[in-house]
Amino acid sequence: MTKNNNKSILDQIMDNYQAEEVANLDAVEIITNLFNELDERGRDILIRRFALREDRKETLEEIGKIHELTRERIRQIEATSINRLKQLENLDRHLSGLKNIIINLLEEHGGLMEKEYLFNNLVNFSISGGKNGENEMKHKRHFDFLISKLLHDEFEAIGDSEYFKESFKLKYQSLEHLEALAKELQEKIQEIKKIFMTEELINLSKGFEVYKNNQEKFNPAGDLDISGILINNLFKEKADVINSNKVIYSILQAAKKIEQNKFGFWGINDWREIKPRTINDKIYLILKNSGKPMHFSEIADRINKISFDKKKANAATVHNELILDEKYILVGRGLYGFQEWGYQKGAVADVIEKILAESEQSLSREEIINKVLTQRIVKKATITLALTDRNKFEITADGKYKIKVGANSTE
């Protein structure tokens, strides 16, 4: 939570209360306490049906075999158990903290949050949700059960919407201005035909008429700090910018046709720079975001580490793609860069010949070495050795080099 010395005593008391609710947010503990009110069979069926223990939801038939009951009977027990939880006298006491945090999150995000984005925030605030792996997924499944089965009267689920992915919104929340901004953002990105960083899209959005006409709706009060979900090993989001523009950021997360790639860039979800389909697409993204030449085996390792999808990259396959595609240039032993970075094809002697041809004058050895090193990652001795080729180069009276008269030119 952020601090503000200008807040009233009442505001500070409310902030302390909110901070206490956040600190006690533990979906697993909430469900454990609630399920103590059920009989053992009802508890086991709900745990299996909603993957609260394992990572896969079990079918009615699978559970029926375990309990030696029909599919229909398992379905009835499931429904009866959930209804029993809804009717608990102390249900509100168990769920009030979670409900208040969700309301605060939704309000600060303009009333709408994409499902996974909401769960990420809740896990981040949870005292034991963790930041990775199995523990994080376990908490998300518990939050999903609590919201979809016990708090569905408080929040409205959005399914297959024209503009948004699966999301939750506040009851009676109007989506017109949010849909309008999502639509205009999508159209503008498609028109400009480029990918954007988060801050660029936020600034772009603020120029739209729909934003200017609804500024109070796009800038609700609140100071929940969501920076904990912005930590990423591949790129760094500006937490202060996002914390100050949660509504626009929430629209980016929820927009159906806008997606963020593994390196933090936003674009249309079917663009190859956003969702790479082939091994060549993945190579391109890895090299582009490295900003420097890489060894083909390092590129393969990087693809597998980032895990664009479940397909594993093989170093030999990566090498073949680099060899066959003209946009990639061999610049050293197994090292490849982009032709658009200024690298040229050919051996070191060919590069020297092209440099001399383009200079239209003789050059010193140091000048040649410096120019070659902008196009090849080689040792200076390799360049010096190439200059000894008397079939291609000759030394002038002042000790400089030029293309030998009659030598085959690269032109």
Taking only the tens place, the pLDDT of each residue in 261-287 is 999 999 999 999 999 999 999 999 999
What percentage of the chain exceeds 90 in pLDDT? 62
Q: Is the pLDDT of residue 353 over 90?
A: no
128 pLDDT tier (thresholds 50, 70, 90): low
Closest CA to 1 of 224, 275, 155: 224
> pLDDT (tens digit, 9 = 90+) per residue, 166-196?
999 998 889 999 999 999 999 999 999 999 9
pLDDT at 338: 92
* One domain for residues 374 and 292: no
Number of domains in the chain: 4
Residues 334 and 352 in one domain: no
Residue 54, token pair as written in the block: 């394992």
408 part of a folded domain: no
In a domain, 3, yes or no: no
What does the alpha-carbon distance between residue 162 and residue 159 come to, in Å, rounded to a whole number? Answer: 10
Map residue 336 onto helix, strand or coil: strand
Q: Does 31 map to a domain?
A: yes
Residue 73 lies in a domain: yes
In a domain, 47, yes or no: yes
Number of Cβ atoms within 10 Å of the Cβ of 373: 13
**Torsion-angle region of 312 (φ positive above 0: left; ψ -120 to 50: alpha; else: beta):** beta
Q: What is the pLDDT of residues 69-124, one digit of tens each?
A: 999 999 999 999 999 999 999 999 899 889 999 999 999 999 999 999 999 999 88
Yes or no: say if 121 and 102 are a contact pair by the CB < 8 Å rule. no
d(CA 53, CA 402): 75
Amino acid identity of residue 235, one-letter, is F
Give a yes or no: residue 4 inside a domain: no
Choosing from 104, 126, 158, the residue where a domain stops is 158
Q: Are residues 101 and 19 in the same domain?
A: yes
Nearest to 353 by CA among 309, 292, 408, 395: 408
pLDDT given at position 10: 39
Between residues 67 and 375, the one the model is more confident about: 67
Nearest to 145 by CA among 32, 20, 59, 18: 32
Q: Six-digit token pair at 347?
A: 């051996």
Q: Give per-residue pLDDT as tens, 19-67.
A: 555 545 788 999 999 999 999 999 999 999 999 988 889 999 999 999 9
Domain assignment present for 411:
no
Choose one of 339, 369, 390: the last residue of a domain: 339
Q: Is the pLDDT of residue 149 over 50?
A: yes
**Domain span including residue 42:** 9-158
- Over the chain, what is the mean pLDDT? 88
Pair 174, 290 in one domain: no
Residue 375 to residue 87: CA distance in whole angstroms: 73
Report, as an integer, the average pLDDT of 340-366: 85
Taken as a whole, the chain contains a residue count of: 411
Looking at the structure, tell me whether residues 85 and 178 fall in a common domain.
Answer: no
Position 83, amino acid: N
In angstroms, the CA 359 to CA 92 distance is: 80
Q: Determine contact, residues 134/154, Cβ cutoff 8 Å.
A: no
Helices marked H in 244-278 — which ranges?
A: 246-254
Q: How confident is the model at residue 15 (pLDDT cuts 50, 70, 90)?
A: low
Closest to 125 in 3D by CA, of 139, 115, 111: 139
CA separation for the pair 167, 158 (Å, rounded)? 5
Same domain for 138 and 178? no
What is the reported pLDDT for 11? 47
268 burial type by CB count under 10 A (0-12 exposed, 13-18 middle, 19+ buried)? middle
Helices marked H in 40-194: 40-49, 60-67, 71-86, 91-108, 115-125, 133-145, 176-192
Question: Looking at the predicted structure, is the pLDDT value of residue 17 above 70?
Answer: no
CATH classification of the domain holding 48: 1.10.10.10
pLDDT band at residue 132 using 50, 70 and 90 as cut-offs? low
Let me know: does 41 contact 27? Beta carbons within 8 Å: no
Report the CATH number that the domain containing residue 367 is assigned in CATH: 1.10.10
Tell whether 15 and 133 lie within a shared domain: yes
Phi, then psi, of 109 in degrees rounded to 5: -100, 20
pLDDT for 320 beyond 80: yes
Band of residue 3 on the pLDDT scale cut at 50, 70, 90: very low
pLDDT of residue 341: 87
pLDDT tens for 251-264 read 999 999 999 999 99
CA distance 390 to 403: 9
pLDDT (average), residues 370-395: 87
Q: Are residues 151 and 19 in the same domain?
A: yes
Give me the phi and psi of 267, to 5 degrees please: -165, -170
321 and 370 within one domain:
no
CA gap 186, 183 in Å, rounded? 5
User: Is residue 287, in this structure, part of any structural domain at all?
Assistant: yes
Q: Are residues 90 and 140 in the same domain?
A: yes
Torsion of CA 60, 66, 72, 78, to 10 degrees: -70
Statement to judge: residues 241 and 334 lie in one domain = no
Task: Choose one of 322, 339, 356: the last residue of a domain.
Answer: 339
Cα angle 123, 230, 104; round to 5: 55
| DSSP-based three-state secondary structure for 200 | helix
Rounded CA-CA distance 219/221 in Å is 7
Residues 87 and 52 in one domain: yes
Tokens of 183: 């639509």
pLDDT at 411 over 50: no
